[in-house]
Structure 1
Amino acid sequence: MTYPAETTLIEMGETSDYFGYVRRGIMRMQRIHLDGTGQIVGLVAEGDVFGSLFEGGSKVAIEAVTEVSILTFKRGPFEALMARSAELDHFMLQKLMADLDRTRDWMLVLLNRKVSERLAGFLVVLCIRYANVDHLVRWDNGSLEIKVPISRCDLASLLGTRVESVSRAFSALAKKGIIHTKTPYLIEVQDVRRLLEEAGGELTNRVTGLRT
């Protein structure tokens, strides 16, 4: 099934009898507060599983950022199929572990005190998690280019700050010679090593194939 951008696939608190697998596109996970405001807590992209195999309401809303193509599975029949297939059970275990890793990555990003450090961490996470998704990360004549798949407003929500602070963080990284902003959605990384240093800590230790 294909859904246009800004479609809400699962409402927060909704009890659904299916879960999904993303074939193409980007979605955001958003927690809605009592006052109606939202906080983006992560992204879901190609190859990720969303929804739950277990009973209970969804802890987040799942919303399409771009046009998305997904596969959906009824929970009951899929559970029965898992019970008969060790390979499928192992596949789903790997997906659940990857989901935990993804959650940890976002937590490591938000542990940074400065917004510029969180932004650097976000760019590193794109390289870790989404290098093969929708051409978000590519090397061009020795230069690393990253497509930012979400708006500045969504990015501010994800990083726990304001849009103005995100803009200043981009400028701060540019002044240090770490990045060059080609467009609001296309970033050239001019110094990979310093980007990793800016992201810092355990997140940097998880990077493979990015250091130069």
Structure 2
Amino acid sequence: MSTVDQTSGFLEELAQDCMTPELEHMFLNGRICHFDLGENIITEGEPTTYFYEIIDGTIALARNGRDGRRQILNFMGPRQILGVASTPGYPNLATALTPVVAIKYTRAHLENALATSPGFASQIRVILTRILESAHDHIYTIGQRVAIERLASFLLYLRSTQARYAKNGPQSPVNELELPMTRLDIADFLGLTIETVSRAFSAMKQKKLIAFKDSHSVKILNISALRELGGREDFTDKRGRTGYEDD
């Protein structure tokens, strides 16, 4: 990891109409950090002294079992926050799946800012609520679906989150998706084996639901059929996924 001088991000944008001296102090002391592919941003048990605002790149939030098996809990990217926890130590591991740029803030500065700016505290509650909603969707996806349905639901999830959390702000959903994660990462997210994920992708290609541009990008060819397979109600704009009509 390398750090440079402070820069501004989306949290500072959110705070413009409710700025306080404590918020200004937090932003002034934020430091931009660069993480290489495969580098850990946070580790399990590490003191929760800092949190991060993701500027660019993709991160896998995961937990390792005693038997060494990994469960990926979430994929995170630009305009999301990482490391806000209620425990003294981080319960999860966060690893860069691509080169990552993030702003590092201290937890103490955040707590002071939340105590003095109700408007900013309200914005943070919305962000954390969306993280909770995403966790609920994930539990439902891996608990109630067969493999190809889980994968379809995952692609719908990516479509919505990549639109909402686009680097330059929320965008309308598109059908060309980035896949910065590996097949193994997807398998560990969906509770499947890598072989099962590969077979499910092949079945979708045969059904002409998707087409691969390369190993890290996929195009949805039939969004209606994908919604039917993955569960249309999972990721609608009514649940605050994109802020745009989900056409």
**Superposition TM-score, scaled by structure 1 size:** 0.88
**Superposition TM-score, scaled by structure 2 size:** 0.77
Number of residues of Structure 1 aligned to a counterpart in Structure 2: 207
**Residue-by-residue CA offset, 1:160-184 (whole Å, 9 max, x unaligned):** 1111111110111112221122322
Q: Which residue of 2 aligns with 1:210?
A: 246
User: What is the percent sequence identity of the aligned residues?
Assistant: 27
Structure 1 stretch displaced more, 93-102 or 22-31:
93-102
TM superposition shift of 1:52: 2.1
* Paired residues of 2:34 and 2:102 also in contact (CA < 8 A): yes
- Select the structure that is richer in strand: 1
Q: Which of residues 190, 193, 196 is equivalent to 1:162?
A: 193
Question: SS where residue 94 of structure 1 aligns?
Answer: helix
Residues 11-26 of structure 1 correspond to what in structure 2 (within 5 A)? 11-26=43-58
**Residue-by-residue CA offset, 1:40-83 (whole Å, 9 max, x unaligned):** 11111111111125332222101111111111111112211221
* Paired residues of 1:28 and 1:62 also in contact (CA < 8 A): yes
TM superposition shift of 1:121: 0.6
* Paired residues of 1:110 and 1:159 also in contact (CA < 8 A): yes
Amino acid at match of 2:245: G
Q: Which residue of 2 aligns with 1:81?
A: 113
Where structure 1 has 5 or more consecutive residues not aligned to the other structure, the ranges are: none
* Paired residues of 1:2 and 1:69 also in contact (CA < 8 A): yes
Q: Indicate yes or no: 2:183 matched with 1:147.
A: no
Q: Which of residues 166, 170, 179 is equivalent to 1:133?
A: 166
* Paired residues of 1:127 and 1:137 also in contact (CA < 8 A): no
Q: Report the Cα distance in structure 2 between the residues aligned to 1:124 and 1:189, rounded to whole angstroms.
A: 9
Q: Report the Cα distance in structure 1 between the residues aligned to 2:139 and 2:87, rounded to whole angstroms.
A: 25
Q: Which residue of 2 aligns with 1:32?
A: 64
Question: SS where residue 130 of structure 1 aligns?
Answer: helix
CA RMSD in angstroms comes to: 2.2
Q: Which residue of 1 aligns with 2:134?
A: 102
Q: Report the Cα distance in structure 2 between the residues aligned to 1:137 and 1:157, rounded to whole angstroms.
A: 28
TM superposition shift of 1:188: 1.6
Q: Which residue of 2 aligns with 1:72?
A: 104
